[in-house]
A and B are shown apart, each in its own frame.
Chain A
Amino acid sequence: MASPTPSQTVGPFFARELIWSDGGKVLFAGHGDRVTLTGRVLDGAGAPVVDALFETWQADAAGRLPSGGEGARPYGYGRVSTGAEGGYAIETVVPGSFRGPGGETYAPQLSVAIFARGLLKAVQTRVFLAPLDAVKDDPLARAIGVPDRLRTLIAARDPADPKIYRWDVRLRGAGETVFIEF
């Protein structure tokens, strides 16, 4: 068996190389109500992480896995850099739930990978675009168990604007986001 190539940090100098002008707009073959997932990435001191590469990968509004793309862009995939306040925004649709090979149901979620200077390998997680009581049977929710930790993966719908979901990522320390490994 071949040894995997070790991960290394993305470093601070990727902005012109990996960022597409419309990379935060996620495309799909079908339609769905457009929403925005937005928030900040924060470090262990609560300071904004201003140089992270923030990626999302998701099913469409009906819960179908994306395949193919439009123009030069793959469906279902978003990629942006965080800004001066550590902020990011992904304009997309709320994904449908989908089933796993064992019949388990995955709640509406985006798979997220964050790369940054100081991250020798990506942090990976899943963010739910659904309230806490709607994700209890999700495989990751079951694996986490503790509601307080699971809450770090719930994107909260903005009471003033239902098209906005807010989710902050805390890389380390108090309120640390749950990260996963495969």
Chain B
Amino acid sequence: MVETLAADAHPPYLYPDYKSTRLRAPAQPLVRVAPSPLEAAGPAFPKHFVKDSEADLTTWGKSAPLGEKMVLVGRVLDEDGRPVRRSLVEVWQANASGKYPHPVDDHEAPLDPNFLGKGQVLTDDEGRYRVVTVKPGAYPWQNHAFAWRPAHIHLSLFGNAYAQRLITQMFFPGDPLLAIDPIFNSVPEAGRRFLIADLDLEHGVESVALGYRFDIVVRGPRATPMGV
């Protein structure tokens, strides 16, 4: 069950440069256990849980949202490279101005009445997903002086087993704000590149939307002996 490589890929709980970790990071060592039969299985989201339209974040308003339209494609795989099939991927993000439609977001940037910034999709039999959206804006936050979060899209994944559950963030290539972001830099250096999408023009839409590719690897199957 020892998975040194996998453990090292993830950030530590305590990363003092990200101030919110100081009071929330567990201090005691984790207790290592085998996933229970329950954790080697996971919630099943039926096909009708997700509507096809929910994979396009740009069409639910009365007109198109502001911003740079983009297509995000990728595959969800396990550590052995096997596709994670029919698995829920949820995405959420700020609008093109860097504003979330959330009551605690006090950034003085405009909401976009045509953009909610929320979508979901089930992976197909090859583990592929495709989401249409607009590129989110960077936004300031209170972590340190002149702190700005680099543009990012949040992703929530279930895999095929509860032990594979993952929430992460996808960043954009070449973003100068990555260098000053403690959340991104909390990841050990070798793993940071796995959080950055690749420009993938051919998966965009000609003259309409830029394409990006972001493949996601969830843990296992070694951690999930019951099979996934």
Give the interface of A toward B (CB within 8 A). 1-18, 43-45, 47, 49, 51, 55, 57-59, 65-69, 72-77, 98-101, 106, 109, 111, 113, 115-123, 126, 139-140, 143-144, 149, 171-173, 176-182
Contact = CB atoms under 8 A, between A and B. Distances in A.
B98 to A, nearest CB: 11
Interface of B is mostly: loop
Contacts of B3: 182
B53 interface: no
Interface residues of B, number: 83
B221 to A, nearest CB: 11
Contacts of B90: 17-18
Contacts of A172: 23-27
A144 B118 contact: no
Contacts, number: 241
Nearest to A99: B37
A100 B37 contact: yes
A67 B44 contact: yes
Given A59-B38, A118-B20, A6 B30 contact: no
Contact of A118 (B18, B45, B168): B18
Nearest to A68: B44
A143 B32 contact: yes
A34 B145 CA distance: 49
Contacts of A18: 90, 92, 156
Interface in B189-228: 190-192, 194-195, 216-219, 223, 225-226
Contacts of A180: 30-33
Contact of A4 (B48, B102, B219): B219
